[in-house]
Structure 1
Protein backbone atom coordinates (compact mmCIF):
# COMPACT_ATOMS: atom_id res chain seq x y z
CA UNK A 1 0.00 0.00 0.00
CA UNK A 2 1.30 3.41 -0.92
CA UNK A 3 2.19 5.90 1.81
CA UNK A 4 2.06 8.84 -0.59
CA UNK A 5 0.22 11.96 0.60
CA UNK A 6 -3.49 11.55 0.21
CA UNK A 7 -3.40 7.73 0.16
CA UNK A 8 -5.45 7.62 3.34
CA UNK A 9 -7.61 10.60 2.44
CA UNK A 10 -6.30 12.90 5.18
CA UNK A 11 -4.00 15.31 3.34
CA UNK A 12 -5.73 15.37 -0.04
CA UNK A 13 -4.51 18.19 -2.28
CA UNK A 14 -7.81 19.99 -2.99
CA UNK A 15 -6.11 22.85 -4.79
CA UNK A 16 -4.62 20.39 -7.25
CA UNK A 17 -7.57 18.04 -7.85
CA UNK A 18 -10.81 19.92 -7.27
CA UNK A 19 -12.15 21.97 -10.19
CA UNK A 20 -15.05 24.41 -9.99
CA UNK A 21 -18.40 23.22 -11.38
CA UNK A 22 -18.67 26.38 -13.48
CA UNK A 23 -16.05 28.62 -14.97
CA UNK A 24 -17.52 31.80 -13.55
CA UNK A 25 -20.13 32.70 -10.95
CA UNK A 26 -22.23 35.62 -12.12
CA UNK A 27 -23.38 38.55 -10.01
CA UNK A 28 -26.95 37.25 -10.28
CA UNK A 29 -25.92 33.86 -8.88
CA UNK A 30 -24.18 35.53 -5.96
CA UNK A 31 -27.30 37.64 -5.34
CA UNK A 32 -29.56 34.56 -5.50
CA UNK A 33 -27.44 32.69 -2.95
CA UNK A 34 -27.34 35.66 -0.58
CA UNK A 35 -31.08 36.31 -0.88
CA UNK A 36 -31.97 32.63 -0.43
CA UNK A 37 -29.82 32.30 2.68
CA UNK A 38 -31.25 35.53 4.12
CA UNK A 39 -34.84 34.34 3.54
CA UNK A 40 -34.07 31.05 5.29
CA UNK A 41 -32.39 32.91 8.16
CA UNK A 42 -35.43 35.21 8.55
CA UNK A 43 -37.84 32.26 8.51
CA UNK A 44 -39.67 33.13 5.27
CA UNK A 45 -39.17 29.52 4.19
CA UNK A 46 -37.00 26.60 5.21
CA UNK A 47 -34.16 25.00 3.30
CA UNK A 48 -36.36 21.91 2.91
CA UNK A 49 -39.21 23.96 1.44
CA UNK A 50 -36.79 25.57 -0.98
CA UNK A 51 -35.48 22.15 -2.03
CA UNK A 52 -38.99 20.82 -2.64
CA UNK A 53 -39.97 23.84 -4.73
CA UNK A 54 -36.76 23.66 -6.75
CA UNK A 55 -37.39 19.99 -7.53
CA UNK A 56 -41.00 20.81 -8.46
CA UNK A 57 -39.91 23.60 -10.82
CA UNK A 58 -37.22 21.46 -12.47
CA UNK A 59 -39.64 18.66 -13.38
CA UNK A 60 -42.14 20.94 -15.17
CA UNK A 61 -42.11 20.48 -18.94
CA UNK A 62 -44.13 21.54 -21.99
CA UNK A 63 -46.23 18.34 -22.18
CA UNK A 64 -49.35 19.88 -20.54
CA UNK A 65 -49.17 22.86 -22.91
CA UNK A 66 -48.89 20.53 -25.90
CA UNK A 67 -51.84 18.50 -24.63
CA UNK A 68 -53.88 21.67 -24.17
CA UNK A 69 -53.30 22.86 -27.74
CA UNK A 70 -53.85 19.39 -29.22
CA UNK A 71 -57.18 19.16 -27.42
CA UNK A 72 -58.12 22.67 -28.60
CA UNK A 73 -57.41 21.58 -32.18
CA UNK A 74 -59.83 18.68 -31.79
CA UNK A 75 -62.56 20.23 -29.62
CA UNK A 76 -64.00 23.62 -30.65
CA UNK A 77 -65.63 24.13 -27.24
CA UNK A 78 -62.33 23.54 -25.44
CA UNK A 79 -60.60 25.91 -27.85
CA UNK A 80 -63.05 28.66 -26.86
CA UNK A 81 -62.41 27.90 -23.19
CA UNK A 82 -58.64 27.99 -23.68
CA UNK A 83 -58.75 31.39 -25.34
CA UNK A 84 -61.33 32.90 -22.96
CA UNK A 85 -60.27 31.27 -19.66
CA UNK A 86 -56.76 29.85 -20.07
CA UNK A 87 -56.30 29.28 -16.32
CA UNK A 88 -59.38 27.04 -16.28
CA UNK A 89 -58.22 25.22 -19.40
CA UNK A 90 -54.81 24.72 -17.76
CA UNK A 91 -56.43 22.89 -14.85
CA UNK A 92 -58.13 20.53 -17.29
CA UNK A 93 -54.71 19.35 -18.48
CA UNK A 94 -53.36 19.04 -14.94
CA UNK A 95 -51.77 22.45 -14.36
CA UNK A 96 -52.79 24.53 -11.35
CA UNK A 97 -50.95 27.85 -11.36
CA UNK A 98 -51.35 28.03 -7.56
CA UNK A 99 -49.16 24.98 -7.00
CA UNK A 100 -47.08 23.95 -5.21
CA UNK A 101 -47.50 26.55 -2.47
CA UNK A 102 -51.28 26.95 -2.68
CA UNK A 103 -50.98 30.62 -3.55
CA UNK A 104 -48.53 30.56 -6.44
CA UNK A 105 -45.29 32.48 -6.58
CA UNK A 106 -44.63 36.12 -7.49
CA UNK A 107 -42.96 35.04 -10.74
CA UNK A 108 -45.56 32.48 -11.80
CA UNK A 109 -49.05 33.32 -10.53
CA UNK A 110 -49.95 36.03 -13.00
CA UNK A 111 -52.42 36.73 -15.79
CA UNK A 112 -52.07 34.18 -18.59
CA UNK A 113 -53.19 34.44 -22.22
CA UNK A 114 -53.07 32.02 -25.14
CA UNK A 115 -52.42 33.65 -28.52
CA UNK A 116 -54.07 31.89 -31.47
CA UNK A 117 -52.30 32.03 -34.82
CA UNK A 118 -54.32 32.50 -38.01
CA UNK A 119 -53.50 32.04 -41.71
CA UNK A 120 -52.39 35.68 -41.84
CA UNK A 121 -51.01 36.24 -38.31
CA UNK A 122 -48.14 34.56 -36.51
CA UNK A 123 -47.37 35.18 -32.81
CA UNK A 124 -44.05 34.89 -31.03
CA UNK A 125 -43.38 35.59 -27.36
CA UNK A 126 -40.44 37.36 -25.78
CA UNK A 127 -39.59 39.20 -22.60
CA UNK A 128 -37.59 42.23 -23.66
CA UNK A 129 -36.93 43.35 -20.08
CA UNK A 130 -35.74 40.09 -18.52
CA UNK A 131 -37.05 36.55 -19.06
CA UNK A 132 -40.71 36.33 -17.97
CA UNK A 133 -42.11 32.99 -19.17
CA UNK A 134 -45.21 30.81 -18.54
CA UNK A 135 -43.19 28.32 -16.52
CA UNK A 136 -46.06 26.40 -14.84
CA UNK A 137 -47.31 25.16 -18.21
CA UNK A 138 -44.20 25.30 -20.43
CA UNK A 139 -41.50 24.41 -17.92
CA UNK A 140 -38.28 26.32 -17.50
CA UNK A 141 -37.39 28.65 -20.35
CA UNK A 142 -34.62 27.66 -22.79
CA UNK A 143 -31.30 29.40 -22.33
CA UNK A 144 -31.54 31.30 -25.61
CA UNK A 145 -34.86 32.84 -24.51
CA UNK A 146 -33.06 34.58 -21.65
CA UNK A 147 -30.21 36.00 -23.71
CA UNK A 148 -30.06 39.71 -24.60
CA UNK A 149 -29.43 38.68 -28.21
CA UNK A 150 -32.91 37.13 -28.47
CA UNK A 151 -34.74 39.57 -26.20
CA UNK A 152 -33.53 42.76 -27.85
CA UNK A 153 -33.47 41.63 -31.45
CA UNK A 154 -36.81 39.81 -31.57
CA UNK A 155 -38.75 43.00 -30.94
CA UNK A 156 -36.79 44.88 -33.63
CA UNK A 157 -36.12 42.33 -36.37
CA UNK A 158 -38.53 39.44 -35.75
CA UNK A 159 -38.39 37.95 -39.25
CA UNK A 160 -34.62 37.85 -39.22
CA UNK A 161 -34.52 36.18 -35.81
CA UNK A 162 -37.21 33.68 -36.83
CA UNK A 163 -35.20 32.84 -39.93
CA UNK A 164 -32.24 32.04 -37.70
CA UNK A 165 -34.45 29.40 -36.08
CA UNK A 166 -35.23 28.06 -39.54
CA UNK A 167 -38.70 29.60 -39.75
CA UNK A 168 -39.36 31.46 -42.99
CA UNK A 169 -42.84 32.99 -43.06
CA UNK A 170 -44.60 34.19 -46.24
CA UNK A 171 -44.74 37.93 -46.78
CA UNK A 172 -48.54 37.92 -46.43
CA UNK A 173 -48.27 36.58 -42.86
CA UNK A 174 -47.88 39.33 -40.27
CA UNK A 175 -45.66 38.73 -37.25
CA UNK A 176 -46.89 39.96 -33.88
CA UNK A 177 -44.27 39.97 -31.13
CA UNK A 178 -45.93 39.72 -27.72
CA UNK A 179 -43.76 41.13 -24.96
CA UNK A 180 -44.28 39.44 -21.60
CA UNK A 181 -44.08 41.44 -18.41
CA UNK A 182 -44.12 41.08 -14.66
CA UNK A 183 -47.87 40.48 -14.52
CA UNK A 184 -48.69 38.75 -17.79
CA UNK A 185 -47.52 35.53 -19.43
CA UNK A 186 -48.30 34.27 -22.93
CA UNK A 187 -48.26 31.06 -24.93
CA UNK A 188 -48.84 30.53 -28.65
CA UNK A 189 -51.53 28.28 -30.11
CA UNK A 190 -50.15 27.54 -33.58
CA UNK A 191 -52.32 26.45 -36.47
CA UNK A 192 -52.90 22.76 -36.95
CA UNK A 193 -50.73 21.57 -39.85
CA UNK A 194 -52.15 19.88 -42.91
CA UNK A 195 -51.92 16.12 -43.06
CA UNK A 196 -53.01 15.58 -39.44
CA UNK A 197 -56.75 15.37 -40.01
CA UNK A 198 -57.10 11.81 -38.65
CA UNK A 199 -54.55 12.10 -35.86
CA UNK A 200 -55.29 11.42 -32.19
CA UNK A 201 -54.68 13.91 -29.41
CA UNK A 202 -51.53 12.05 -28.42
CA UNK A 203 -50.15 12.16 -31.97
CA UNK A 204 -50.87 15.88 -32.23
CA UNK A 205 -49.27 16.63 -28.86
CA UNK A 206 -46.03 14.99 -29.99
CA UNK A 207 -45.46 17.56 -32.74
CA UNK A 208 -46.29 20.52 -30.48
CA UNK A 209 -42.74 21.26 -29.42
CA UNK A 210 -41.72 23.87 -26.88
CA UNK A 211 -40.41 26.06 -29.70
CA UNK A 212 -43.73 25.98 -31.56
CA UNK A 213 -45.52 27.03 -28.36
CA UNK A 214 -43.10 29.98 -28.03
CA UNK A 215 -43.59 30.83 -31.69
CA UNK A 216 -40.10 30.33 -33.11
CA UNK A 217 -41.16 27.18 -34.98
CA UNK A 218 -44.24 25.64 -36.58
CA UNK A 219 -45.59 22.19 -35.75
CA UNK A 220 -44.89 19.74 -38.56
CA UNK A 221 -45.66 16.04 -39.00
CA UNK A 222 -42.55 14.06 -38.13
CA UNK A 223 -40.90 16.84 -36.11
CA UNK A 224 -41.09 16.12 -32.38
CA UNK A 225 -37.97 17.87 -31.07
CA UNK A 226 -36.81 21.45 -30.75
CA UNK A 227 -34.40 22.75 -33.36
CA UNK A 228 -30.78 23.17 -32.38
CA UNK A 229 -29.63 26.44 -33.90
CA UNK A 230 -26.06 27.52 -34.44
CA UNK A 231 -25.15 30.68 -32.55
CA UNK A 232 -23.65 33.23 -34.90
CA UNK A 233 -23.03 36.99 -34.91
CA UNK A 234 -26.09 39.10 -35.52
CA UNK A 235 -26.42 40.92 -38.83
CA UNK A 236 -28.10 43.77 -36.93
CA UNK A 237 -26.73 43.53 -33.39
CA UNK A 238 -28.72 45.39 -30.76
CA UNK A 239 -26.53 47.76 -28.86
CA UNK A 240 -26.99 48.94 -25.31
Structure 2
Protein backbone atom coordinates (compact mmCIF):
# COMPACT_ATOMS: atom_id res chain seq x y z
CA UNK A 1 0.00 0.00 0.00
CA UNK A 2 1.15 3.53 -0.69
CA UNK A 3 1.02 6.50 1.65
CA UNK A 4 -2.65 6.95 0.76
CA UNK A 5 -3.68 4.31 3.27
CA UNK A 6 -2.26 4.83 6.74
CA UNK A 7 -1.68 1.91 9.06
CA UNK A 8 -4.40 1.02 11.51
CA UNK A 9 -1.90 1.39 14.35
CA UNK A 10 -1.08 4.98 13.39
CA UNK A 11 -4.75 5.91 13.15
CA UNK A 12 -5.57 4.27 16.49
CA UNK A 13 -2.69 6.12 18.18
CA UNK A 14 -3.82 9.47 16.80
CA UNK A 15 -7.42 8.87 17.88
CA UNK A 16 -6.33 7.89 21.39
CA UNK A 17 -4.14 10.99 21.71
CA UNK A 18 -6.97 13.26 20.52
CA UNK A 19 -9.44 11.58 22.89
CA UNK A 20 -7.08 12.04 25.85
CA UNK A 21 -6.51 15.70 25.01
CA UNK A 22 -10.25 16.45 24.72
CA UNK A 23 -10.97 14.80 28.07
CA UNK A 24 -7.99 16.46 29.79
CA UNK A 25 -9.07 19.94 28.61
CA UNK A 26 -12.68 19.33 29.67
CA UNK A 27 -14.02 19.65 26.13
CA UNK A 28 -15.46 16.12 26.10
CA UNK A 29 -16.24 13.55 28.77
CA UNK A 30 -15.56 9.83 28.65
CA UNK A 31 -19.32 9.26 28.60
CA UNK A 32 -19.79 11.55 25.60
CA UNK A 33 -17.03 9.80 23.68
CA UNK A 34 -18.51 6.39 24.53
CA UNK A 35 -21.88 7.58 23.24
CA UNK A 36 -20.33 8.78 19.97
CA UNK A 37 -18.62 5.43 19.51
CA UNK A 38 -21.91 3.66 20.20
CA UNK A 39 -23.69 5.80 17.59
CA UNK A 40 -21.13 5.03 14.91
CA UNK A 41 -20.97 1.35 15.79
CA UNK A 42 -24.71 0.73 15.97
CA UNK A 43 -26.80 3.60 14.64
CA UNK A 44 -24.87 4.77 11.57
CA UNK A 45 -22.04 3.23 9.63
CA UNK A 46 -21.02 0.70 7.03
CA UNK A 47 -23.03 -2.11 8.64
CA UNK A 48 -26.16 -0.16 7.71
CA UNK A 49 -24.96 0.34 4.15
CA UNK A 50 -24.24 -3.39 3.98
CA UNK A 51 -27.83 -4.06 5.06
CA UNK A 52 -29.11 -1.85 2.23
CA UNK A 53 -26.86 -3.53 -0.34
CA UNK A 54 -27.90 -7.01 0.79
CA UNK A 55 -31.56 -6.09 0.44
CA UNK A 56 -30.93 -4.68 -3.04
CA UNK A 57 -29.15 -7.89 -4.05
CA UNK A 58 -32.10 -9.94 -2.78
CA UNK A 59 -35.07 -7.79 -3.80
CA UNK A 60 -35.20 -6.45 -7.38
CA UNK A 61 -38.05 -4.05 -6.59
CA UNK A 62 -36.13 -2.52 -3.68
CA UNK A 63 -33.02 -2.31 -5.89
CA UNK A 64 -34.98 -0.33 -8.48
CA UNK A 65 -36.20 2.06 -5.79
CA UNK A 66 -32.67 2.40 -4.39
CA UNK A 67 -31.23 3.33 -7.78
CA UNK A 68 -34.09 5.77 -8.45
CA UNK A 69 -34.16 7.40 -4.99
CA UNK A 70 -31.44 6.22 -2.61
CA UNK A 71 -32.48 8.53 0.22
CA UNK A 72 -36.09 7.33 0.07
CA UNK A 73 -35.17 3.65 -0.22
CA UNK A 74 -32.83 3.88 2.76
CA UNK A 75 -35.56 5.63 4.74
CA UNK A 76 -37.75 2.55 4.16
CA UNK A 77 -35.24 0.68 6.33
CA UNK A 78 -35.07 3.45 8.93
CA UNK A 79 -31.70 4.67 7.69
CA UNK A 80 -31.03 8.37 7.14
CA UNK A 81 -30.07 11.59 8.83
CA UNK A 82 -27.28 14.12 8.88
CA UNK A 83 -25.02 13.90 5.80
CA UNK A 84 -27.48 11.50 4.17
CA UNK A 85 -30.22 13.86 3.09
CA UNK A 86 -29.44 13.63 -0.64
CA UNK A 87 -27.84 10.30 -1.56
CA UNK A 88 -27.39 8.73 -4.97
CA UNK A 89 -26.45 5.07 -5.46
CA UNK A 90 -24.57 4.02 -8.60
CA UNK A 91 -24.45 0.36 -9.61
CA UNK A 92 -21.39 -1.67 -10.56
CA UNK A 93 -21.99 -3.97 -13.52
CA UNK A 94 -19.88 -6.24 -15.69
CA UNK A 95 -19.16 -3.24 -17.94
CA UNK A 96 -18.89 -0.37 -15.44
CA UNK A 97 -17.05 0.10 -12.15
CA UNK A 98 -17.85 3.16 -10.01
CA UNK A 99 -15.62 4.93 -7.52
CA UNK A 100 -16.44 7.84 -5.22
CA UNK A 101 -14.45 10.93 -4.27
CA UNK A 102 -15.08 14.40 -2.94
CA UNK A 103 -12.61 16.63 -4.76
CA UNK A 104 -13.34 19.68 -2.58
CA UNK A 105 -13.24 18.21 0.93
CA UNK A 106 -14.72 14.99 2.30
CA UNK A 107 -18.47 14.93 1.58
CA UNK A 108 -19.64 11.44 2.32
CA UNK A 109 -22.91 9.58 3.16
CA UNK A 110 -22.40 9.08 6.90
CA UNK A 111 -25.68 7.21 7.65
CA UNK A 112 -24.70 4.30 5.39
CA UNK A 113 -20.90 4.40 5.50
CA UNK A 114 -20.05 5.91 8.88
CA UNK A 115 -17.19 8.38 9.16
CA UNK A 116 -14.95 8.75 6.11
CA UNK A 117 -11.57 7.02 6.31
CA UNK A 118 -8.55 9.31 6.58
CA UNK A 119 -7.31 8.48 3.07
CA UNK A 120 -10.65 9.64 1.60
CA UNK A 121 -9.94 13.15 2.92
CA UNK A 122 -6.33 13.35 1.74
CA UNK A 123 -5.56 15.69 -1.19
CA UNK A 124 -3.45 12.97 -2.82
CA UNK A 125 -6.43 10.60 -3.12
CA UNK A 126 -8.84 13.37 -4.13
CA UNK A 127 -6.62 14.49 -7.01
CA UNK A 128 -5.19 11.18 -8.16
CA UNK A 129 -8.40 9.13 -8.29
CA UNK A 130 -9.85 11.62 -10.80
CA UNK A 131 -6.78 11.64 -13.06
CA UNK A 132 -5.75 7.99 -12.92
CA UNK A 133 -8.45 5.92 -11.22
CA UNK A 134 -7.27 2.57 -12.56
CA UNK A 135 -3.72 3.19 -11.37
CA UNK A 136 -4.80 4.43 -7.93
CA UNK A 137 -7.10 1.45 -7.38
CA UNK A 138 -4.31 -0.98 -8.31
CA UNK A 139 -1.38 0.67 -6.56
CA UNK A 140 -3.04 2.07 -3.44
CA UNK A 141 -5.78 -0.48 -2.79
CA UNK A 142 -4.56 -3.63 -4.56
CA UNK A 143 -7.73 -3.67 -6.65
CA UNK A 144 -7.22 -4.38 -10.34
CA UNK A 145 -10.13 -3.45 -12.60
CA UNK A 146 -10.03 -5.15 -16.00
CA UNK A 147 -9.11 -2.96 -18.94
CA UNK A 148 -12.43 -3.71 -20.66
CA UNK A 149 -14.39 -2.31 -17.70
CA UNK A 150 -15.14 1.41 -17.78
CA UNK A 151 -14.34 3.29 -14.56
CA UNK A 152 -16.65 6.16 -13.64
CA UNK A 153 -15.56 8.58 -10.92
CA UNK A 154 -18.38 10.33 -9.05
CA UNK A 155 -17.66 13.60 -7.23
CA UNK A 156 -19.69 13.92 -4.02
CA UNK A 157 -20.65 17.34 -2.71
CA UNK A 158 -22.65 18.83 0.13
CA UNK A 159 -25.68 18.75 -2.18
CA UNK A 160 -25.26 15.16 -3.45
CA UNK A 161 -23.51 12.25 -1.79
CA UNK A 162 -22.77 9.21 -3.93
CA UNK A 163 -22.10 5.63 -2.92
CA UNK A 164 -21.76 2.34 -4.78
CA UNK A 165 -23.96 -0.72 -5.09
CA UNK A 166 -21.20 -3.28 -5.65
CA UNK A 167 -21.69 -6.33 -7.84
CA UNK A 168 -23.10 -9.33 -6.01
CA UNK A 169 -20.46 -12.02 -5.59
CA UNK A 170 -20.91 -15.26 -7.50
CA UNK A 171 -21.99 -18.34 -5.59
CA UNK A 172 -24.45 -16.56 -3.30
CA UNK A 173 -27.75 -17.81 -4.71
CA UNK A 174 -30.12 -18.65 -1.89
CA UNK A 175 -28.16 -16.69 0.72
CA UNK A 176 -30.09 -14.71 3.32
CA UNK A 177 -29.77 -10.95 3.56
CA UNK A 178 -27.79 -11.34 6.79
CA UNK A 179 -25.32 -13.65 5.03
CA UNK A 180 -25.03 -11.31 2.05
CA UNK A 181 -24.44 -8.29 4.28
CA UNK A 182 -21.30 -9.99 5.63
CA UNK A 183 -19.80 -9.72 2.13
CA UNK A 184 -20.23 -5.94 1.88
CA UNK A 185 -17.33 -3.76 2.99
CA UNK A 186 -17.10 -0.01 3.34
CA UNK A 187 -14.46 0.02 0.62
CA UNK A 188 -16.78 -1.78 -1.81
CA UNK A 189 -19.40 0.94 -1.23
CA UNK A 190 -16.81 3.64 -1.98
CA UNK A 191 -15.60 1.68 -4.99
CA UNK A 192 -11.98 1.13 -3.99
CA UNK A 193 -12.50 -2.60 -3.58
CA UNK A 194 -14.95 -5.34 -4.55
CA UNK A 195 -17.47 -7.08 -2.35
CA UNK A 196 -15.92 -9.98 -0.45
CA UNK A 197 -15.92 -13.25 -2.38
CA UNK A 198 -18.25 -15.96 -1.17
CA UNK A 199 -16.67 -18.96 0.51
CA UNK A 200 -18.17 -22.41 0.87
The question of a shared fold, defined as TM-score above 0.5 by the shorter chain, is answered with yes
Corresponding position of 2:174: 198
Q: Which runs of 5+ in 1 are unaligned?
A: 1-19, 26-36, 38-46, 98-103, 224-240
The count of aligned residue pairs is 172
> Match for 2:51 among 67, 80, 87?
67
Q: TM-score, normalising length from structure 1?
A: 0.65
Larger Rg over CA atoms:
1
Corresponding position of 1:125: 100
Kindly indicate whether residue 178 of structure 2 is the aligned counterpart of residue 168 of structure 1: no
Q: RCO (CA 8 Å, sep 6+): is it higher in 1 or 2? A: 2
Q: Give the deviation of 1:57 after TM superposition.
A: 5.5
Contact 1:57–1:140 (Cα < 8 Å) also in 2: no
Q: TM-score, normalising length from structure 2?
A: 0.77
Structure 1 residues 72-100: Cα deviation after superposition (integer angstroms, max 9, x where no partner)? 11111010111112112112333132xxx
| Cα distance in 2, alignment partners of residues 143 and 134 from structure 1 | 15
Q: Which runs of 5+ in 2 are unaligned?
A: 1-15, 22-26
Q: Give the deviation of 1:169 after TM superposition.
A: 1.0
Corresponding position of 1:180: 156
Contact 1:64–1:94 (Cα < 8 Å) also in 2: no
RMSD: 2.6
Cα gap change, 1:197/1:109 in structure 2, threshold over 3 Å: closer, same or farther? closer
Cα gap change, 1:77/1:134 in structure 2, threshold over 3 Å: closer, same or farther? same
Q: Give the deviation of 1:58 after TM superposition.
A: 3.7
Between Structure 1 and Structure 2, the one with more helix by share is 2
